[in-house]
Structure 1
């Protein structure tokens, strides 16, 4: 029988260094990521969206929107807590144009108007004629919506994602929605 030989000390040392390197490669990135998160360093300041991000889990119902049907599509929601003035009408037009601008992805999104006060008769006639797919919803005004009309992007689960004011750029909103649709498998 041959006797088993023990490795010399240099081979042991090399084995220990290799083990430490392997552990460092596995645990190092996790420790670095944890430290970056906890200590807030090397966090990028830039962002790729143009609206105000709503990451609180709010739904349109939290805004006072009275909608009893669930949708499985992305939604461009215009809220008008006061009378639907020119800013509100511009956002309704913009929501429809963004929906059209989605091209082949347009079937994944819909547009809606939630209003608290009755719409002007002339605008109601225009909506009936030119906006047949526009959903009209009731709105109970509260502190979340403010007094100005706003455009919201709502995901298919009913969560508010982004908010835009009346002065928002339509191309920026379209880019944001296209990015959301690209990254999302829902809706």
Structure 2
């Protein structure tokens, strides 16, 4: 009589499909983790599918420039609203100085996280100097190195307002046409996102 036939081992037949299923699950998990990073890198490098919209109103300074790169030597450990005047601090410059002070006040309980400052090439007029002393007692004043400013600023001939982070990095730049409400929204957004200053 022949040898008895052993029935097939059921665990051997189900193990192969389980292994294949496990491999596919592992591949899917890796693709879900690595895929978005690879896609984001190519989107950034090739500039495709980049949204046109933005949530800020000034010109973003994303090149690592600091206050020193636009001719202002200062040591301030808070956020700063810095007005620069490469010519006489007249109409637009004075308007931006006023706006900077109002913005700091508008921050409410976060007002202590920011300061306002003026950097000028020329001394201000005696009349405006007297006004600054009485109406802007907390305004910080700095000299502005014109050659450095002309080389480093995006629009060197005009009065401008800059948002500077606590490390001295330039974040956003505005000209005199900016609306105070827009600038205040930008500043509040930055302070909300920031753990510094």
TM-score under structure 1 normalisation?
Answer: 0.89
Q: 2:180 is matched with which residue: 136, 145, 170?
A: 170
Could you say what the CA RMSD is over the residues aligned between the two structures, in angstroms? 1.9
Residues 60-109 of structure 1: per-residue CA shift (max 9 Å, x gap): 11111233xx2111000000111111111111000000010000000000
User: Quick check: 1:148 aligned with 2:153?
Assistant: no
Residue equivalent to 1:123: 128
Q: 1:74 is matched with which residue: 65, 79, 83?
A: 79
**Displacement of 1:24:** 2.8
**Structure exhibiting the larger radius of gyration computed from Cα positions:** 2
Distance of 1:92 and 1:104 partners within structure 2 = 21
Residues 14-69 of structure 1: per-residue CA shift (max 9 Å, x gap): 333333333333333233223323332222111110001111111111111233xx
**Displacement of 1:168:** 1.1
Q: 2:60 is matched with which residue: 53, 68, 73?
A: 53
Residue equivalent to 1:6: 12
Residue equivalent to 1:16: 23
Distance of 1:185 and 1:16 partners within structure 2 = 42
Q: What's the secondary structure of 1:84's corresponding residue?
A: coil
The structure in which a higher percent of residues are helix is 2
TM-score under structure 2 normalisation?
Answer: 0.85
List gaps (5 residues or longer) in structure 1.
Answer: none
List gaps (5 residues or longer) in structure 2.
Answer: 1-8
Q: What's the secondary structure of 1:46's corresponding residue?
A: coil
Distance of 2:28 and 2:188 partners within structure 1 = 43
* Greater mean deviation of Cα atoms: 156-165 or 4-13: 4-13
Q: 2:191 is matched with which residue: 151, 172, 181?
A: 181
Runs (4+) of structure 1 exceeding 6 A deviation are none
Residue equivalent to 1:35: 42
